[in-house]
Amino acid sequence: MTESSLPLAGLRVLDISSFIAAPAAATVLGDWGADVIKIEGPDGDPNRTIMNDSANYPKGAVNYPWQMDSRNKRSLVLDLKKPEARAALDRLIAISDILICNFPPLVRTNLRLGYDDVKSVNPRLIYASLTGYGETGPDRDRPGFDATAYFARSGLLDAQRYEDGPPGVPGPAQGDRATAMALFSAILMALIHRMKTGEGSWVGTSLLGNGLWSCGVIAQAALVGAFLPHRPPPDRPRSALGNIYRTSDDRWLQLTIVREDKMWAPLCEAIGHPELIDDPRFAAIEERRKRAAELAAILSAAFARRDYEHWLHALASHSITFGVISRPQDIPDDVQAFHAGAIVETAIPDMPLTLANPIHVSFAKQRIAHPAPALGEHGDEVLHQAGLTAHEITELRASGAVR
Amino acid sequence: MTEPLPLAGLTVLDISSFIAGPAAATTLADFGADVIKIEPPGEGDPHRQNYKSPNYPRGDHQVNFPWQLEGRFKRSIALDLKNDSARAILERLLRRADVMIVNFPPPARERLRLRWEDIEPLHPRLVYCSLTGYGESGPDRDRPGLDITAYFGRSGILDAARYEGGPPGLSLPAQGDRATAMTLVAAILLGLRRRDQTGKGGWVGTSLYANGAWSNGTTVAGALVGAKLLPRQAPDKPRNALTNLYRTKDDRWLQLLVVRDDRLWGTLCTAIDRPDLATDPRFTDRDERKMRSLDLVQELMPVFASRTYAEWEGALSKTGIPFGVIGRVADVVEDEQARHAGIFADTTNPEVPRTVNNPIRLGFAMPRVSGIPPAVGENAEEILRETGYSDAEIAELRKSGALG
């Protein structure tokens, strides 16, 4: 399979976005063959340094988030506040198919980077907009991050908490990456539209919209006045057989026993409490539900006696279903993660494995990841492609418009 | 401004159940595709019953609200796919289809002859879209994948989503399924683009596990290079007091997210009426603020607890300081901003008058307005007539039990 056979080969993408959701959509376009040019300000995309800047990122010897979000991109530094840089950008817009932008609306206006501004330069251009909270409305200009817009504002974190506990905890960029799939879909929709009509278009999505789509069940419920009470903590569950338990090595098992009538005896055997099988306190579902806290206490003590490995085998040998709560550090060793195509090899020497985007197709393979670009690494080559002469490029560098 | 919907003219066979696959089909329908839902006779897609599940929200009246999300715009035909006559119907439907969405576990696909290699000879132009829990091969290929186990549990999200010493995080009903639906949509559109270019269909797909890992990608990519996520400290013991949760006077949670405190530290001190902090020698730069986050949080907690969230909103909203409130779903449905973002849509279904839009916005088309989703098999006769069946043949099929 040669690169030219990738479904998005031949498309040129200007990634004028920062941090994660929008750049990750550009990454996915690149995975499927598009030529992605990352346009950064003189300081570079702050995602270059987020691993160290954010207290909530795992710290590695390799700048893995930047490598993942910028694989196969080329970097050009333009100081878009300078008119010469803005003019150079128009030359690039003229030869591009897709522009991805996540500046707040006010900045777009100031930089003349709204859809109408760029449409006049290239009417076939697809303009993909990512915002925190939408393109209009009272919070239009509020900076949106995935923790605030996707998780907090949508009601996800409030719903994801145990009764009386603090709100749920989002993982770093968790909502951003899910949103990247919606933005990527929007772009593909526009490509289909362009194929039919020859015209470019505006498409977009918001972090808030994606958060609410993801928790669509509870959002749709709220629209008809139905609500989900907060989950009681594991020591007083609604059902002790649909509950989580800590093992002796501080792992968690998620019991999900639906067929209680059938599975009660095997469970008692598996946890080494055969005497419970005929214990009148837990004789049937009704009693077990009524005494859920009491039963949970017995099960907690039992599960806490042995380690996770033990329980994996003990439960499986009694055909008891349970959910695996993996730790992130388990995933690199999970054979199934490779079979699912989630983890793939790279051409990056100090980061030999990375995450593929979750789309798989029979007719093409995602491009292998090459190292992310240094800031401004491809400036001359990209400007040259846009038709600028060596002399013009020198001028732009002298003025500080290109770094 | 509004042009024909971009997916008008496409026929999609939704042979999937529950949520991720059907929600992808819904999104295609939102933008104009004709979606034919093929369900088992009788109860139909088991998702039709999910609103009664104890894990689903409850209201005063029992309304089948999730079905508005997964059933809207679809036409339903009930086929017993184990019946040979039903197979013949399916093959005739397939020949007229552009896209087919399947989420049967691999062994069931094989039994029902519904794998891509079974379908491709019949219809090489079809875009065949597969959803699995754990992928198309490997030791857990046949394991039933649910979003709580495959997307959230296995991918490390639940373990990562907890406070130090606390239990794993919680996921909401179908939360990962619905995010995965966007990936399926993208996969299908990629397949359609390729068909437009080459005239050939193909297999496209994704798994819940891969989507969970993608969403948790920062943490998983960290794990791939041996970097470990530190457990999140409880809000009174943050590693960084400037990206932390604060309880307000009216018992809401304000989320402060000052990532660029190199630029915003002074602004924050002014906005919270604590200019003294800006010159406090303990907190002069980023490193010190991070190093002394336990001291800083002790300063900030009483400050935030002294005013209501509405007061904080007034004080912070013009400053450029990133913050948010931990929203409650009950508030979101009345949120003016959600209306501006096009998140909710009115329907013509009196029982469920508003629904959740898919998150894709297009400048050239609006998603369709939805009505009442179909009952099991409601559109069978019209679908079969379009496919060329006579009334007599339809009656025959009903008698044989192939058609529910």
In a domain, A284, yes or no: yes
Instruction: Looking at the structure, tell me whether residues A75 and A169 fall in a common domain.
Output: yes
In a domain, A239, yes or no: no
Q: Name residue, tokens 């030529």.
A: A35
**Percentage of chain A surpassing pLDDT 70?**
99
Residues of A with CB below 8 A from B173's CB?
Answer: 217-218, 228
Q: List the beta strands (DSSP E) in A48-196.
A: 73-77, 98-101, 126-131
Q: Which residues pair with B102 in a beta bridge?
A: B15, B130
Q: What CATH number did the domain enclosing A168 receive?
A: 3.40.50.10540
What are the residue ranges spanned by the domains of chain B?
A: 11-215+343-400, 243-247+253-326
Q: How far apart are CA B212 and CA A355, in angstroms?
A: 11
In a domain, A195, yes or no: yes
In B216-328, alpha helices (H)? 217-224, 261-271, 275-278, 286-291, 293-305, 309-316
pLDDT of residue B268: 97
Q: Give chain A's domain count.
A: 2
pLDDT of residue B230: 83
Q: Which residues pair with B283 in a beta bridge?
A: none
pLDDT tens readout for residues A351-372: 999 999 999 999 999 999 999 9
Q: Lowest mean pLDDT of A8-12, A181-185, B244-248, name the range.
A: B244-248
Q: How far apart are CA B56 and CA B48, in angstroms?
A: 12
pLDDT of residue B1: 41
Instruction: Looking at the structure, tell me whether residues A200 and A294 fall in a common domain.
Output: no
Residues of B with CB below 8 A from A349's CB?
Answer: none
Read off the pLDDT band of B143 (50, 70, 90).
Answer: confident
3-state DSSP helix/strand/coil % of chain B, to nearest 5: 40, 15, 45
Q: How many CB atoms lie within 10 A of CB A172?
A: 23
Read off the pLDDT band of B355 (50, 70, 90).
Answer: very high
What burial letters (b/e) apply to A201-236, b meaning 16+ CB within 10 Å?
Answer: bbbbbbbbbbbbbbbbbbbbbbbbebebeebbbbee
Q: Which of B68, B67, B20, B336 is nearest to B178 (CA)?
A: B20
3-state DSSP helix/strand/coil % of chain A, to nearest 5: 45, 15, 45
- Judge whether residue A260 has pLDDT over 90: no
Q: How far apart are CA A249 and CA A258, in angstroms?
A: 26
Instruction: Looking at the structure, tell me whether residues A197 and A273 fall in a common domain.
Output: no
Q: What are phi and psi of A252, to 5 degrees?
A: -125, 140
Domain that holds residue A123: 3-218+358-399
Q: What single-letter amino acid sits at B368?
A: R
Q: How far apart are CA B358 and CA B12, in angstroms?
A: 17
- Judge whether residue B284 has pLDDT over 70: yes
Are A166 and B323 in contact (CB < 8 Å)?
no
In a domain, A225, yes or no: no
pLDDT tens readout for residues B68-108: 999 999 999 999 999 999 999 999 999 999 999 999 999 99
pLDDT of residue A4: 56
Q: Are B326 and B245 in contact (CB under 8 A)?
A: yes
- Residue-by-residue DSSP string for B22-75: HHHHHHHHHTT-EEEEEE-TTT-SGGGGGGGSTTS-B-SS---HHHHHHHTT-E
Q: What CATH number did the domain enclosing A287 receive?
A: 3.30.1540.10
Q: Say whether residue B22 is in contact with chain A using an 8 A CB cutoff.
A: no
pLDDT of residue B145: 84
Residues 122-181 of B with CB under 8 A from A: 134-141, 148-149, 153-163, 166-176, 178-180
In a domain, A345, yes or no: no
pLDDT tens readout for residues B158-185: 999 988 888 999 999 999 999 999 999 9
Domain B11-215+343-400, CATH number (from 3.30.70.20, 3.40.50.300, 3.40.50.10540, 3.40.50.720): 3.40.50.10540
* Residue A221 in tokens: 């419920």
Q: How far apart are CA B111 and CA A137, in angstroms?
A: 52
Q: How far is CA B381 from CA B89, B237, B391, B400, B402, in A?
A: 12, 63, 8, 15, 13
Q: How far is CA A366 from CA A154, A324, A363, A369, B179, in A?
A: 32, 29, 10, 9, 21
Are B333 and A223 in contact (CB < 8 Å)?
yes
Q: How many CB atoms lie within 10 A of CB A4?
A: 8
Q: What single-letter amino acid sits at A378?
A: H
- Judge whether residue A115 has pLDDT over 70: yes
DSSP B150: I
In B161-291, alpha helices (H)? 175-198, 208-215, 217-224, 261-271, 275-278, 286-291
In a domain, A293, yes or no: yes
Q: Which of A162, A123, A148, A121 is nearest to A206 (CA)?
A: A148
- Gap between the terminal Cα atoms of chain B: 43
pLDDT of residue A128: 98
Q: Is the dihedral of CA A206, A210, A212, A216 positive or negative?
A: positive
Instruction: Looking at the structure, tell me whether residues A101 and A151 fall in a common domain.
Output: yes
In a domain, A352, yes or no: no
* Pairing assessment for the beta strands B323-325 and B253-257 based on DSSP bridges: antiparallel
- Judge whether residue A165 has pLDDT over 90: no
Instruction: Looking at the structure, tell me whether residues A192 and A261 fall in a common domain.
Output: no
Average pLDDT, chain B: 93
**Percentage of chain B surpassing pLDDT 90?**
83
* A interface test, pick of B328, B356, B370 with most A CB neighbours within 10 Å: B356
pLDDT tens readout for residues A83-98: 999 999 999 999 999 9
Instruction: Looking at the structure, tell me whether residues A170 and A89 fall in a common domain.
Output: yes
Read off the pLDDT band of A166 (50, 70, 90).
Answer: confident
Q: How many CB atoms lie within 10 A of CB A298?
A: 18
Q: What single-letter amino acid sits at B301?
A: M
Are A332 and B259 in contact (CB < 8 Å)?
no
Size of interface A-B (CB pairs under 8 A): 515
| Mean pLDDT, range B121-142, rounded to an integer | 96
- Judge whether residue B2 has pLDDT over 80: no
* Region at A33 (left for phi over 0; alpha for psi -120 to 50; beta for the rest): left
| Mean pLDDT, range B119-129, rounded to an integer | 97
Instruction: Looking at the structure, tell me whether residues A182 and A105 fall in a common domain.
Output: yes
Residue of A nearest to B32 (CA): A189
Question: Closest Cα of chain A to B81: distance in Å?
Answer: 26
- Judge whether residue B12 has pLDDT over 70: yes
| Mean pLDDT, range A114-139, rounded to an integer | 96
Of B7, B172, B290, which has the smallest distance from its Cβ to A156's Cβ?
Answer: B172
Q: How many CB atoms lie within 10 A of CB A362?
A: 17
Q: Lowest mean pLDDT of A145-154, A262-271, B308-317, name the range.
A: A145-154
pLDDT of residue A345: 96
Q: Are B359 and A206 in contact (CB under 8 A)?
A: yes
Q: What single-letter amino acid sits at B315?
A: A
- Gap between the terminal Cα atoms of chain A: 37
Instruction: Looking at the structure, tell me whether residues A193 and A97 fall in a common domain.
Output: yes
Q: Name residue, tokens 């010469």.
A: A84
Strand order in the sheet with A322-324: A244-246, A252-255, A322-324
Q: How far apart are CA B334 and CA A223, in angstroms?
A: 9
Interface confidence (ipTM) of the complex? 0.92
Residues of B with CB below 8 A from A8's CB?
Answer: 190, 193
CATH code for B243-247+253-326? 3.30.1540
Q: What are phi and psi of A337, to 5 degrees?
A: -65, -30
pLDDT tens readout for residues B311-336: 999 999 889 998 888 988 888 888 89
In a domain, A377, yes or no: yes
Q: How far apart are CA A357 and CA A21, in angstroms?
A: 13
How many residues are listed for chain B in this entry? 404
Q: How far apart are CA A343 and CA A323, in angstroms?
A: 21
pLDDT of residue A322: 82
Residues 78-107 of B with CB under 8 A from A: none
